[in-house]
Amino acid sequence: MNMSSSENPNIKAVFLDIDGTLISFKTNTIPESTRKAIQSLRAKGIKVIVATGRSINSLDHIGHITFDGFITFNGSYCITAEGQVMDKNFIDPSDIKSLVRYAENFPLSYSLMYENKVEINDAAPEVVGMYAHINLPVPPVHDKENIDTDHVLQANIFLKQDDEETFMKNVMPNSSASRWSPLFADVNHGGITKSTGIKHFCEYFGIDISETMAFGDGGNDIAMLKFTKIGVAMGNANEDVKKIADYITEDVDNHGIESALIYFGVL
């Protein structure tokens, strides 16, 4: 898909993924052009909201920029800039118990993400590599006899994409998976996506979905790029993301966010 800049609606909210969109995987920083673009948007009264698969407690690296809200855990935990929790969705405890049982019998690495902590079941190389990729410390290994199965906001399941559908159907049937890496899938409460969070923020700020724009690069961004009026794929995005996008911009290291905002006349 490709949308002409002449079709630009009156954008009142912009939703931004973090890894590979706001932040470069090459430099682990936010490009200066993106930082200035966010400042300009907010100066015009346009709301700028983060939409990430990260934990609410893994956002220190963007703390130097002011945002209007945060959609975290792929929509499972939404919070305003002032700290008001708007929505919280835990994974069905039976799915977590099933996951833990499965991993006791088959080789499977996973992490469990809570409001205030993250735990892993083993420090396998792919787990260590994933946390290094997003510039985060490796979480502690949980006590298998003392797992909180009731308050998991997101799980990361380290399995191949070809095995994902069968695994979800048989092991975590009340949950849904999305993927931005070939190494693992993000798992959330069934039906929850970043677009769920967008609905909450549109209602909160009195913004219509026709007045929204989103940027992303991974499989967990597809739902929000389809949902917003203008869905922009970064030049470094996965091919399945580019296929559904309204517009493909430059990559994160080549001023992609600024370029698309200018193209559509938002800046």
Spatial separation of the C-alpha atoms in residues 209 and 185, rounded to whole Å: 28
What is residue 50's three-state secondary structure?
A: strand
Is CATH 3.40.50.1000 the classification given to domain 9-88+193-263? yes
Which residue shows structure tokens 């769920």? Answer: 196
Residue 146 neighbours by CB under 8 Å, 6+ apart:
none
- Is-contact 29 23, C-beta < 8 A? yes
How much is the pLDDT for 5? 53
Q: How buried is residue 52: exposed, middle or buried, by Cβ count under 10 Å (0-12/13-18/19+)? A: buried
98 membership: H or E segment, kind and range = helix 93-105
How much is the pLDDT for 176? 96
- Mean pLDDT per block of 10 residues along the chain (267 residues) reads 57 96 90 96 97 90 93 97 95 98 94 94 88 84 93 95 95 95 92 96 97 96 97 96 97 96 95
Domain with CATH 3.30.1240.10 in the chain: 93-189
pLDDT tens per residue across span 49-68: 999 999 988 888 898 999 99
Spatial separation of the C-alpha atoms in residues 78 and 89, rounded to whole Å: 9
pLDDT tens per residue across span 94-146: 999 999 999 999 999 999 999 999 999 998 888 888 888 777 889 999 998 89
Q: What are the structure tokens assigned to 73, written together?
A: 């855990």
- State how far the alpha carbon of 177 is from the alpha carbons of 167, 211, 263, in Å: 10, 28, 33
How much is the pLDDT for 78? 97
How many Cα neighbours within 13 Å face the side chain of 30?
21
What is the rounded average pLDDT for all residues in the chain?
Answer: 93
Which CATH number is associated with domain 93-189? Answer: 3.30.1240.10
What is residue 128's three-state secondary structure?
A: helix
Spatial separation of the C-alpha atoms in residues 112 and 93, rounded to whole Å: 12
Domain with CATH 3.40.50.1000 in the chain: 9-88+193-263
Which residue shows structure tokens 């517009």? Answer: 247
